[in-house]
Amino acid sequence: MNPVFKLESREDGGMRKILGCLLLTGAVAAAAGSGYQAARTFAIGGEGGWDYVTVDAAGRRLFVSHGNEVEVVDLKSGKVTGKIPDTQGVHGIAVATETGRGYVSNGRTNNVTMFDLKTLKTLGTVPTGKKPDAIIYDKADGVVMSFNGESDSTTVIDAATGKVNGTIDLGGGPEFAAADGKGKVYVNLEDKSEILQLDPKALKVDQRWPLKPCEEPSALSMDQASRRLFVGCRNKMMAVVNADTGQVVATLPIGRGVDAGRFDPKTKFAFDSCGDGTTTVVHEDSPDKYTVVDTLTTKVSARTMELDPVTHNIYLPFAEVTPAPGGGRPKIVPGTFAVLEMSRK
């Protein structure tokens, strides 16, 4: 039960009591942890690697990159109900609900597949730079942006027509991106340890900021309300960045091998999923104060993740892996690919 305070007759004293109550309630919530636990496992099977996973909140589906296709999972049943085939070297999926279209980045063919959200039928392909990887839908600007790892650029695509508006040279290797809902997009450069502010309409870089002490930034998410960016860094650190000044306002410890991050505006939780089998949950106490409230045990290899804004569940693709002889990338055990669903108690 939350503590109840009797308000003082003086206005300033009453305000102190109210603030004290709010602060104490927030501290209790942080101390209690995130409440997340394993709920279900969606068995998919098959062979091949994977990368990003995307929730279609309106359609109640999960789009999962896998091998050279996208598996479409019904969120209620946990069953595969459809596929988007021939997405060679698939990395990410962007859902443009307002246009009725989805977009898939194909790393091996240097293009993006455009498909119908209702029928899942392919509508065509869009040329991009070399090795398109991360891809996002920027609702404010009405564009889809593919981030091209081997040409250090982003291709800006009209989300309604699939036509290319232009290309932005980034000057470094992009990893992931986040839109602020007001016409700006942010992307981290892994090889430069920088974060860039982009203007998709003007097709230019507005700002370029260093991320020290963050090294090799990979994951990126944003609290649009507080104007804070959450950058998952490969030196086992989450860096919180002011989206208007580029200042690193906080750093927090995370696991090894981070590859995806999400922020939930309802719970104020920021998540970083790591390949070592952990997902770190950070609570935004205020725009400049943050607390690690949980380190969730997931699955080794569960390095990417998605958040369902409706249920607040998180989804992490994984497979059983075995160490490669002499080191290197672990080998995937055929038939073990699945998605772990975690929900709050």
Q: Which residue has the higher pLDDT, 26 or 166?
A: 166
Q: Is the dihedral of CA 125, 128, 130, 131 positive or negative?
A: negative
Sheet with strand 132-138: strands edge to edge: 132-138, 143-148, 153-158, 164-169
Q: Is the pLDDT of residue 96 over 60?
A: yes
> What are the tens digits of pLDDT across the range 28-86?
344 459 999 999 999 999 999 999 999 999 999 999 999 999 999 999 999 999 999 99
Q: Is the pLDDT of residue 323 over 70?
A: yes
Specify the CATH architecture of the domain 51-210.
Answer: 7 Propeller (2.130)
Contact between 199 and 206 (Cβ < 8 Å): yes
Q: How confident is the model at residue 330 (pLDDT cuts 50, 70, 90)?
A: confident
Q: Please tell me the number of Cα atoms within 13 Å of 133 on its side-chain side.
A: 22
> What are the tens digits of pLDDT across the range 157-191?
999 999 999 999 999 999 999 999 999 999 999 99
> What are the tens digits of pLDDT across the range 228-254?
999 999 999 999 999 999 999 999 999
- Give the span between the Cα atoms of 192 and 186, in whole angstroms: 15
Query: E strands within 129-173?
Result: 132-138, 143-148, 153-158, 164-169
End-to-end CA distance of the chain: 17
Q: How confident is the model at residue 16 (pLDDT cuts 50, 70, 90)?
A: very low
pLDDT (0 to 100) of residue 32? 57
Those residues with Cβ within 8 angstroms of residue 8's Cβ, 6 or more apart along the chain or in another chain: 14, 16, 17
**Tokens 């922020």 found at:** 263
Q: Where are the domains of the chain?
A: 1-32, 35-49+215-345, 51-210
Sheet with strand 278-286: strands edge to edge: 258-264, 269-274, 278-286, 289-297
Matching fold, domains 35-49+215-345 and 51-210: yes
Mean pLDDT to the nearest integer, 192-206: 98
Mean pLDDT to the nearest integer, 146-153: 98
Q: How many residues does the chain have?
A: 345
Percent of the chain clearing pLDDT 70 (strictly above): 91
Q: Is the pLDDT of residue 263 over 80?
A: yes
One-character DSSP codes across 280-343: EEEEEEETTEEEEEEEEE--TT----EE-TTT--EEEEE--EEPPTTSSSPEEPTT--EEEEEE
SS3 readout for 56-75: ECCCCEEEEEECCEEEEEEC
> What are the tens digits of pLDDT across the range 115-140?
999 999 999 999 999 999 999 999 99
pTM of the model: 0.90
* CATH fit for domain 35-49+215-345, picks 1.10.760.10, 2.130.10.10, 2.40.30.10, 1.20.58.110: 2.130.10.10
Q: How confident is the model at residue 325 (pLDDT cuts 50, 70, 90)?
A: confident
Mean pLDDT to the nearest integer, 193-207: 98
